Structure 1
Amino acid sequence: MRLQGVNAVITGASSGIGQAIASHFRREGARLLLTGRRPEPPESHPDDLYLAGDLDDERFVAELAARARGNLGDVGVVVLCHGLQRSGPLAETSYEAARDVLHTNLLSAFLVMKHLMPLAPERGASMVCVSSRLGMVGMPNQTLYSAAKGGLIALARGAAVEWADRGIRVNVVAPGLTMTPVIEASFQRRPDPAAYRRTREDSIPMRRLATPEEVADAVLFLASPESSYITGAVLPVDGGYTAF
């Protein structure tokens, strides 16, 4: 098992991609501390630890780190999978909405890195940030989200260089449109969900959406020793979208 004996913290673990990552890590032998906004985890696994809270609040992030230290000791893998997406024309976006998107996708990631990096074992650790294809390209009505996810990529690259001598690798997975429950629900709100889905699929060279499990496969690779000489990298999992 690729993560046997490894202690891992996964944010945004209560649904979608984060839930799939937790399942992969559990299968590979990791001991998990999970966090999300839901009061209770979506699945019951007796060996998992779960702490609900708001990663925009540094006091909660400090509490999360204290729980990791007290229950796990060290943390060999951190996956930052939380985020917030809001759409709309740039000129019509309120300052409050822009602040929320930037804080939840970028500044909260900084807080998690800041408080959990000191828990890395002497042998080193791996951090994997889940960004987005929109952190690499622009799209109308997604400008603030792109700015936040692009900032996350820059944050990860800087941290990769800064922490390389500590043996801490920092990499990014940039998913394309992924069939999570949130995306499925958004499709169902359209007048013709099937037609809208076909339109979105036609914008992707591989002509389909990703599954959460496919994104989790990439995260697992970057978290595991198989990627031991990779740091500061961005791995698109987008069906070729950013290859245009």
Structure 2
Amino acid sequence: MRLQDVNAVITGASSGIGQAVASHFRREGANLLLTGRRPEPPESHPDDFYLAGNLNDETFVSALAARAADHFGDVGVVVLCHGLQASGPLVDMTYDDAREVLHGNLLSAFLVMKHLMPLAPESGGSVVCVSSRLGMVGMPNQTMYSAAKGGLIALARGAAMEWAPRNIRVNVVAPGLTATPVIEASFQRRPDPAAYRRMREDSIPLRRLATPEEVADAVLFLACPESSYVTGAVLPVDGGYTAF
């Protein structure tokens, strides 16, 4: 029960990594306020609060913070698991598409941090941002996504320095390919899903995708007291991909 009675807000909690993080936190005793785009949470837990909405909308994010203040009083942990994938040649991407990627991965994170971290208790708190291996390395046809996820890393590091006097730690988990519903669905759209999966696995030193639970393990570590002297760090959970 490493998060016993800790009040936590988790974004992107309706599927994939966010859902796994919520499960881990629940097991460790946290009080949860979850948010996602789905109208209803994927699992029914009577002790959780769930608020559906768009994190690009500052009015909604402000309402999310007000809900947290009303129900919890303070927020000790914030985990940013939401994001928006985009791919394609840079010259073919429209300005509107690029803006949507930046809003979905970076500016929305800024809004959540801006509105929720004033609720951190006097003893401090922890923010964990889920970025991507592509925030640290380039890949063809992923340029704007890399820019957004790299910006999220820079945002976290800056916030870590700004909030260190308040004992608010800000860290990043950078997953590699993870077997989320979105990734699995993208594989199934290929002409030969099994062959495409093998090809992607062969690009990873450990020769497999991560599970959402493995990424959630890293998030849990950075949220818990065991990492009390860690801030401004980026923890790759990518099977060795960025160690090349």
- Structure 2 length-normalised TM: 1.00
Q: CA deviation at 1:56?
A: 0.1
Partner of 1:224: 224
Counterpart of 2:176? 176
Secondary structure of 1:222's counterpart equals: helix
SS of the counterpart of 2:9? strand
Measure, in 1, the Cα distance between the counterparts of 2:58 and 2:165.
26
CA distance in 1, matches of 2:16, 2:130: 12
Match of 1:158 in 2: 158
Q: Which amino acid aligns with 1:104?
A: G
Which residue is 1:72 aligned to? 72
Q: Which residue of 2 aligns with 1:187?
A: 187
Task: Give CA deviations for 1:159-183 in whole Å, capped at 9, x if unaligned.
Answer: 0000000010000000000000111
Q: What does the per-residue CA deviation read over 1:29-78, in whole Å, with 9 as the maximum and x for residues that have no partner?
A: 00000000000000000000000000000000000000000001100000
Any gaps of 5 or more consecutive residues in structure 1? none
Number of matched residues?
Answer: 244
Q: Which residue of 1 aligns with 2:138?
A: 138
* Aligned sequence identity (%): 86
Corresponding residue number in structure 2 for 1:127: 127
Give the structure 1 partner of residue 86 of structure 2: 86
Listed one character per residue, the Cα deviations across residues 175-231 of structure 1 (whole Å, up to 9, x for unaligned) are 000000111111111111100000000000000000000000000000000000000
Q: How far apart, in 1, do the equivalents of 2:141 and 2:11 lie?
A: 26
SS at 2:229 equivalent: coil
Aligned residues: CA RMSD: 0.3
Secondary structure of the residue aligned to 2:50 is strand
Q: Which amino acid aligns with 2:226?
A: E
Moved >4 Å (runs of 4+): none
1:172 counterpart SS class: strand
User: What is the alpha-carbon distance in structure 1 between the residues aligned to residue 208 and residue 116 of structure 2?
Assistant: 36
**1:82-141, CA deviations, whole angstroms, 9 ceiling, x for partnerless residues?**
000110000110000000000110000000000001000000000000000000000000
Task: Give SS of 2:55's match.
Answer: coil
Structure 2 match to 1:41: 41
